[in-house]
């Protein structure tokens, strides 16, 4: 299932097989969390939040169980890219706002999914298709399914409004750096990493770089809090984010 790993799935099958609530109940229930970023206050992410601009947009189709997980990385995309939209997937009640947007000719939506099944092969496109719609003055939209691999496949199969969209598989050599859930394979990227690589390949290099740094800051902040370690010296990614805000000198001395 190597190609599966390049989908929007933030977790591998092994992780999905665990009871979904156990991890953060056990680890996080008694931890004081920041209201701004939902991370443990020991290493709050808020000082590193930076916005960036991208030509392409990301719309997340999020499984209901994913929304409240503090380890979810889909939300990082919206922190950095203000045009990001988040829709909660419900099998029997498609989001009306999403349906309207899918009919809006300003947007050219692509559903991000691996091309490992033959029955939708005629819908599979490459990154060239993103270039083409951009030249047509339309806004490319990456619809990323935010859930475990199992949930993502179910959403892809049980959402008729996705059936007419082109399917764009992410092709990348990137190995995951996500430290908060254990992937079955290093090629299984989390949701934020999927967005980063799509943006990079689509020519939104600056937005990709900022989101990559913000993802690293999230990853390191959260992982350190799990071991009750306070990060005293900002990491390289954190310093780049602070510099972008013009806050490096103030924060570096704290
Ligand atoms: Zn915070």
Q: Give the burial class of 144: count Cβ atoms within 10 A of its Cβ; 0-12 exposed, 13-18 middle, 19 or more buried.
A: buried
3-state secondary structure of 13: helix
Residue 24 has pLDDT above 80, yes or no: no
Strands laid side by side in the 107-112 sheet: 85-88, 57-62, 139-146, 107-112, 167-168
pLDDT of 29 reads 61
In this predicted model, what pLDDT tens digit does every residue of 225-254 receive, in sequence order? 999 999 999 999 999 999 998 865 544 444
CA distance linking residue 46 with residue 94, whole number of Å: 33
Tokens of 169: 């598989």
The CA 42 to ligand 1 mean position distance, Å, reads 9
Those residues with Cβ within 8 angstroms of residue 212's Cβ, 6 or more apart along the chain or in another chain: 196, 237
The CA 36 to ligand 1 mean position distance, Å, reads 4
pLDDT of 248 reads 58
What is the mean pLDDT of the segment spanning 127-154?
96
What is the mean pLDDT of the segment spanning 50-65?
96
The model's pTM is: 0.86
pLDDT of 56 reads 98
pLDDT of 91 reads 87
The CA 50 to ligand 1 mean position distance, Å, reads 13
CA distance linking residue 38 with residue 189, whole number of Å: 22
The CA 222 to ligand 1 mean position distance, Å, reads 11
pLDDT of 12 reads 39
Residues forming a β-bridge with 141: 57, 109
In this predicted model, what pLDDT tens digit does every residue of 81-140 receive, in sequence order? 999 999 999 989 999 999 999 999 999 999 999 998 999 999 999 999 999 999 999 999
Closest CA to 141 of 59, 53, 52, 51: 59
């Amino acid at each position: 299932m190597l190609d599966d790993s390049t989908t929007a799935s933030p977790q591998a099958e092994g992780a999905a097989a665990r009871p979904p609530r156990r991890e953060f109940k056990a680890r996080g229930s008694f931890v004081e969390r920041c209201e701004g970023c939902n991370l443990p206050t020991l290493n709050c992410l808020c000082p590193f939040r930076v916005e960036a601009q991208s030509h392409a947009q990301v719309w997340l189709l999020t499984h209901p169980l994913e929304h409240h997980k503090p380890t979810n990385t889909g939300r990082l995309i919206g922190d950095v890219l203000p045009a990001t939209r988040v829709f909660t997937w419900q099998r029997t009640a498609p989001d009306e706002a999403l349906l309207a947007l899918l009919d809006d000719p300003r947007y050219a939506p692509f559903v991000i999914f691996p091309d490992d099944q033959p029955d939708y092969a005629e819908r599979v496109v490459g990154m060239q298709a993103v270039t083409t719609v951009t030249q047509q003055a339309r806004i490319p939209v990456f619809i990323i399914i935010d859930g475990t691999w199992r949930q993502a496949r179910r959403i892809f199969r049980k959402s008729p409004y996705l059936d007419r969209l082109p399917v764009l598989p992410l092709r990348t050599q990137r190995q995951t750096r996500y430290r908060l859930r254990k992937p079955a394979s290093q090629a299984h990227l989390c949701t934020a990493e999927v967005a980063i690589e799509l943006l990079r390949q689509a020519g939104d290099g600056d937005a990709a770089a900022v989101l990559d740094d913000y993802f690293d800051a999230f990853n390191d902040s959260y992982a350190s809090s799990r071991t009750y370690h306070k990060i005293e010296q900002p990491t390289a990614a954190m310093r780049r984010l602070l510099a972008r805000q013009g806050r490096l000198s103030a924060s570096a001395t704290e």
